[in-house]
Chains A and B, each alone.
Chain A
């Protein structure tokens, strides 16, 4: 049985090998489905809910890309990838792109032959402590025990931070977020450090959130963004400009609800270009002219996606902070649609 399926698949693959891949965009169109490498479960960013539907901040970006390329945000298949398998899965063609909280670093962008095409969330490493410790700054953590996940960049950041401030700490290594939370609650460590977005989610679910504070220091830069394979520039453009379209939409006030109406009524030339009424922006990346309008209408613009999944009205309650638009003092800045 197994053998037959194996052989059958080999046969099928031999047939399909005839249509050698021209580029990811063509492959996705031919397949009729976008395969998005996602997290194995990260609160607010990407996980299947009780009804098996994937939801989250990263998931919505994938759906927007699916809507832009295939015209249907539901034609996205999410493949969970772990921290170890994610980049190999992308490089081997198992997934079309990765949107799973991967930090844009020099070596990943160059040595791993990947392309980070943008930043959909600016994160950074922070600390959470119990309020009754009376600490208001991470620099007062001298001699503290710190819960830290092993084998991550956060571990290195932590060492750097304490070394450069000339203070000491005792690490309590944990395997994952859940264990860290348990150790921290049990009092095994004074402080818990991870990405600030994760800290906020953890704090929100503690029995008594008000007795814990997240310290103001952010000790690292963690720009998280979608990743594609190196060398497939057309596909990189599609992903990059779908993200930019969501940002521009927020900047110009185009929302999921009013996109259709804006397309017919707006006089702003950039909005008209974005929504495919004027010019032929979609065709330049191999899409049709309504592509970005569909992307916006899938789950709304960047601000709407943020608010729905991780924003202040959700239990996670993240402030926009660095992820505010540049017009509001943040870092999210889309190049013009021109």
Chain B
């Protein structure tokens, strides 16, 4: 009895097959994302047609732009010669001719190394804050910003030497600047490599260093200010055990204020007479362009976060006076448009101050922008505080932590983490709002400098090019802030949702 042999039995496994063409790769993606329904297909086509229409004019306009010309008329002539009459193209030459004003405002040409160095060091100071204690990241930041700064210093030096007759270029021709920059960055690099946590001291000192580099003057003035802060810290540290954190802080502030107001100038004047050491003093009315935007933006951002935290805590405090003051401040400042604050800074304060005081306009603006931003930050952080479960506060109490320890170790780390997106979008908004200072006559990059460039008869009538240039830089800065906040959120993610 023969068993019937099956006509066909597969003896080996089939290899995996390619999925059908409609279910893989680009085709699948297109079908799923762009052409899933007839309506979607229609919208996709419309969108593509619109993008094509826009790009068809914009891309050749930007691409065919003229890069070297000395006036708008010359640009038009070159365009007419190369592309034929009635054709349109960008005139990027205006950026080439006036970039230094867009970046540095009216800062003296041969002192450009000071803002450049201050800007480079800014990143070294940000590193320890953004990547606290990470040797590798900090070393990379110091290295990259050091190399870029040196490159920029050489570039600026070359530019100044070209723009000035050689006899005028005194300071910029001083190779000491480069040597000093190399030494500073090398030192920072060594610290970042060996003791990355210590680098945070540089961040703490940076406001003074940056201020001194930009404004200049006697070296003793920032040192005197620093002494004030040291006094504050010592008094606070000495007294906090006895009288508590708040009272000690107040006492420290009062002592430091006494030093700043009555003692400091006498001491620094004496020191300055004995050892005159310093850089050329620059008045801030020479600041403009992105230098101004960064000075206001960075100062206001870094000062408003701590003030905002204190205000948020004040608003949730049980102490009636502190709570009322915080609520009053926050609600008042949030209820007033920023432009009003700027007008107050530029015009009203002058009425309150004694006649003939010359209180630096940019400092006035920074102070009011900081207060403005602090009120918003306070509300963002209060949102974070409110989102914390009650149990966290109770747990802190159960551990026997006092108020400040609880805030520092348990509440704030969580509340700030929740608030990151809000804080960063406040900061991005603040940085863009720095362009509003044009309304009080400061030369911000978008309106102020652009208007000045257009006031030159050579460039009168130029429209899109400066706006695009400035917009691109703003985008780069704001986009990096937003990416950093996303990195931070990922890094701090502790839940398992």
Spell out A's residues near B (CB within 8 Å): 1-14, 16-17, 19-21, 27, 31, 39-44, 46-52, 77, 79-82, 84-85, 88-89, 92-94, 176-179, 181-182, 185, 201-202, 204-207, 314-316
Contact = CB atoms under 8 A, between A and B. Distances in A.
A80 B260 contact: no
A21 B367 contact: no
Given A9-B359, A205-B73, A2 B299 contact: yes
Interface of B: 72-73, 76, 97-98, 100-101, 106, 108-109, 163, 207-208, 211, 225, 228-229, 257, 260-262, 264-265, 283, 285-286, 299, 303, 343, 346-348, 350-351, 353-357, 359-360, 363, 366-367, 370, 438-443, 448, 450-458, 460-463
Contact of A43 (B260, B265, B367, B455): B455
Given A2-B303, A9-B363, A41 B451 contact: yes
A254 B208 CA distance: 53
A17 B358 CA distance: 11
A49 B70 CA distance: 13
Name, among B283, B346, B367, B453, the residue most crowded by chain A CB atoms within 10 Å (CB to CB).
B346
6 contacts: A14-B354, A40-B448, A40-B452, A41-B452, A77-B285, A204-B457
A314 B457 contact: yes
Contacts of B440: 82, 85
Given A52-B106, A80-B443, A178-B463, 5 more contacts: A9-B357, A40-B452, A85-B440, A201-B457, A204-B457
B11 to A, nearest CB: 78
A7 B457 contact: no
A182 B233 CA distance: 58
Contacts of B265: 8, 11-12
A221 to B, nearest CB: 24
B455 A41 contact: yes
B207 A1 contact: yes
Given A11-B261, A94-B347, A44 B457 contact: yes
A89 B370 CA distance: 23
Contacts of B357: 9, 12-13, 16-17
Contact of A4 (B260, B353, B453, B455): B260
Nearest to B339: A84
A31 B357 CA distance: 11
Name, among A1, A39, A88, A202, the residue most crowded by chain B CB atoms within 10 Å (CB to CB).
A1
Nearest to A86: B441
Contacts of A46: 455
Given A85-B347, A92-B351, A205-B72, A10 B261 contact: yes
B355 A43 contact: no
Name, among B100, B262, B440, the residue most crowded by chain A CB atoms within 10 Å (CB to CB).
B440
Nearest to A30: B356
A79 B261 CA distance: 28
B207 A9 contact: no
Contact of A49 (B351, B356, B456): B456
A2 B363 contact: yes
Contacts of A6: 363, 367
Contacts of A204: 457, 460
B347 A93 contact: no
Contacts of B257: 7
A46 B451 CA distance: 11
A31 B453 CA distance: 31
Given A2-B370, A88-B347, A8 B261 contact: yes
9 closest Cβ contacts across the A-B interface?
A: A17-B354, A47-B455, A41-B455, A13-B357, A92-B350, A41-B452, A41-B451, A80-B441, A205-B460
A296 to B, nearest CB: 26
B454 A178 contact: yes
Name, among B285, B356, B357, the residue most crowded by chain A CB atoms within 10 Å (CB to CB).
B356
Given A19-B356, A21-B355, A79 B347 contact: no
A170 to B, nearest CB: 23
Nearest to A44: B457
A27 B351 contact: no
A305 B294 CA distance: 38
Nearest to A94: B350
Contacts of B225: 1, 4-5, 8
Contact of B109 (A10, A21, A49, A51): A51
Name, among B100, B264, B357, B460, the residue most crowded by chain A CB atoms within 10 Å (CB to CB).
B460
Contacts of A181: 460-461, 463
B173 to A, nearest CB: 18
Given A7-B257, A11-B262, A1 B455 contact: no
Contacts of A9: 357, 359-360, 363
Contacts of B367: 2, 6
B285 A5 contact: no
Given A52-B101, A85-B440, A92-B351, A8 B260 contact: yes
B466 to A, nearest CB: 10
Contact of A93 (B98, B106, B355, B450): B355
B354 A207 contact: no
A272 B438 CA distance: 46
Nearest to B206: A1
Contacts of A314: 457
A47 B441 contact: no
Nearest to A39: B455
Nearest to A41: B455
A27 B448 contact: no
A19 B440 CA distance: 28
A126 B348 CA distance: 36
Contacts of A179: 463
Contact of B356 (A16, A176, A177, A185): A16
A93 B359 contact: no
Nearest to B355: A21
Contact of A206 (B100, B299, B461, B463): B461
Nearest to B350: A92
Given A2-B303, A12-B265, A20-B355, A182 B463 contact: yes
Contacts of A5: 211, 225, 360, 363
Given A77-B285, A93-B356, A1 B211 contact: yes
A92 B347 contact: yes
Name, among A7, A16, A77, A182, the residue most crowded by chain B CB atoms within 10 Å (CB to CB).
A7
A148 B349 CA distance: 34
